[in-house]
Amino acid sequence: MTTMTQLTSAGSSALVVTVPDAPHTSGWPSPVHREIGTLPLSRLRRVTDYIREHLDQHLTLAQLGAVVYMSPYHFARLFQHSTGLPPHRFVVRARIDHAATLLAAPELSITQISRVVGFRTPSHFATVFHRLMGVTPSEYRARHLCTDRSHREGDRDGMA
């Protein structure tokens, strides 16, 4: 193990970092050296999984913080440092990403998709979707259904 000490201008030690000398070869993943002020990966995974499983519900900072046993304030601060996004933006982005996946298939109507991903009204869903994706949900669906159809027809033509 190599230990490095960073000295302050006054000459006292301020930070000690321990770095392994040899590469990690035990078969387990190498420990991740994370920044101070971020959520531990296990807690980040737990809360992002919770968000994805509960997209159809109204999610509050208090609920999300409780998932990782933190106050809403500290959770929001550490979550943003960990993901680069505030919790609300992360939730909205996850909702739109899931909606895009659902829109690529014709089974559900756009109104149904808006509810499945947690928007109260289809018009609010359409507004947010357009702002983040650059196209309306209808345009997105039309493009992806046409692309999917042409790929399937191309596959059939190639096999004949």
Q: Are 101 and 93 in contact (CB under 8 A)?
A: no
Three-state secondary structure along 89-113?
HHHHHHHHHHHHHHHCCCCCCHHHH
pLDDT digits (tens, 9 = 90+) for 13-31: 444 333 444 444 444 433 3
**Please, which pLDDT band fits residue 37 given cuts at 50, 70 and 90?**
confident
CB 35 within 8 A of CB 75: no
Question: Mind listing the pLDDT tens digit for each residue in 43-84?
Answer: 999 999 999 999 999 999 999 999 999 999 999 999 999 999
Q: What is the pTM of this model?
A: 0.70
Residue-by-residue DSSP string for 28-97: SPPPP-PPTTS--HHHHHHHHHHHHHTTTS---HHHHHHHTT--HHHHHHHHHHHHSS-HHHHHHHHHHH
